[in-house]
Amino acid sequence: MSIGNDYPAGFLWGVATAGHQVEGNNVNSDVWFLEHLPGTIFAEPSGDAIDHYHRYRDDIALIAELGFTAYRFSLEWARIEPEEGLFSTAELDHYRRVLEACREHGLTTVVTFHHFVSPRWLLASGGWEDERTPALFARYCATVMEHLGDLIDVACTLNEPNLAWLLRSFGIGGEPPEARASVPLWSAAAERLGIAPSRIAPFQFTVSQAGFDVKLAAHRLGRDAIRAAKPGIPVGWTLANSDIQAAPGGEERADRVRNEVNERFLEASRDDDFVGIQTYGRTVYDAEGLAAAPDGVSVNQMGEEVYPQALEVTIREAATIARVPVIVTENGLATEDDGQRIDYLRVALAGVRACLSDGIDVRGYIAWTAFDNYEWIFGYGPKFGLIAVDRATQERTPKPSAHWLGEVARTNGVEPV
């Protein structure tokens, strides 16, 4: 199968990371706090991660050397505003150096302002169900733009604000406020913070109407603050949109989840400059709930079906509902078999090309992830990276998939022979 070279001029070919997953020692954040509590659902703490905080120059040089044209990374709010109202010039200067390194290597900067992780003080204040959070997020966005805006090319406000609703169907998080006291992690967090368990509302795991309203308001206020500081900058949010399908008996459930997770967030994207789509596979519901992967199919390291065809479906869904340009801001496979990863990328990109051929405005493809890193509640087990990392030595080793996709990037879509 040939990908072809009919991608538009200026198409973004990139790799992505998230600060907490790669930087290390994000000690003022809510996720660091949750990782270390009794009853934690995190398999292990993030610790030093892959020390991208100190090694970013070499990492960025490697990304560019491989042939990529864009780097998507996140700023850590907990570093920039470690206590409410206290902004760190030193940390803002650090991220300015990161952005300058991207500029030096010709990389378009796609910057995520919030990638799951908030300051610990925000969690103590009611987190992503508190009515003050949208304004606090907008103030943070405005401060970032004042210091860094001239070096940011594309802005993503929130990463995967819809994920919590999808995780709930997997049995992860999603407890209503009145039930959070029965969850050991939320109970321990509340006791340590001195607040009621019902007020524990971390970004990744909170499912409620208040959570939806607060995230949407934060996105819109943040977007407006970014635009005010730099008119013309493309601003959007990035969504975890699975290809949601129904097996016999699961039609009603699938329709409900599709609306909760995909459709209403896409409808809310219509005033944005683009929507970021982040797809890894399909989610199938039957009469009992979430259906297991069919017997005999290939699965990733989390036991999920390998289904790269999903990306084309979610791009088309986004274009139809949101009616704004699409950037694929994450797509990839957790596997130790790098040949399997290349096969996955080949099929996924064929779907992107089919969308482009049909006139859908897709502006870029950014793979998840640049490096093997910390995968949240799964710890360091899943290997999504195009570049391997020996965490004992922090040595980086590009995998064949990094060279393969880097060559596709270098040639704007021509598959290496």
Reported as type and span, the H/E element at residue 417 is: none
Tell me if 261 sits within 8 A of 321, measured CB to CB. no
Which H or E element spans position 405?
helix 400-410
Q: Are the C-beta atoms of residues 237 and 272 closer than 8 Å to each other?
A: yes
Return the axis-axis angle of helices 338-357 and 310-321, rounded to nearest 10°: 30
84 is an active site residue: no
Other Cβ atoms within 10 Å of 357 Cβ, number: 10
Here the tokens at position 340 are 């399997």
CB 20 within 8 A of CB 26: yes
Beta strands in 313-385 (DSSP E): 326-330, 362-368
The answer to whether 9 touches 416, Cβ cutoff 8 Å, is: no
- Phi-psi map region of 54: left, alpha, beta (phi>0 left; psi -120 to 50 alpha): alpha
Q: Report the alpha-carbon angle 283-262-341, nearest 5.
A: 45
- Identify the sign of the CA torsion 335, 341, 347, 349: positive
Count other C-beta atoms under 10 Å from residue 320's C-beta.
Answer: 11
Start-end of H helices in 230-337 = 251-257, 264-267, 310-321
Among residues 23, 76, 129, 160, which one is catalytic? 160
Of 36, 106, 26, 115, which Cα lies nearest the Cα of 369? Answer: 115
Sheet holding 289-290, edge to edge: 243-246, 282-286, 289-290
CA 126 to chain centre: 23
Helix (H) or strand (E) holding 247: none
Widest distance between CA atoms in the chain? 60
Q: Which helix (H) or strand (E) holds 69?
A: none
Q: Catalytic residues, which ones?
A: 160
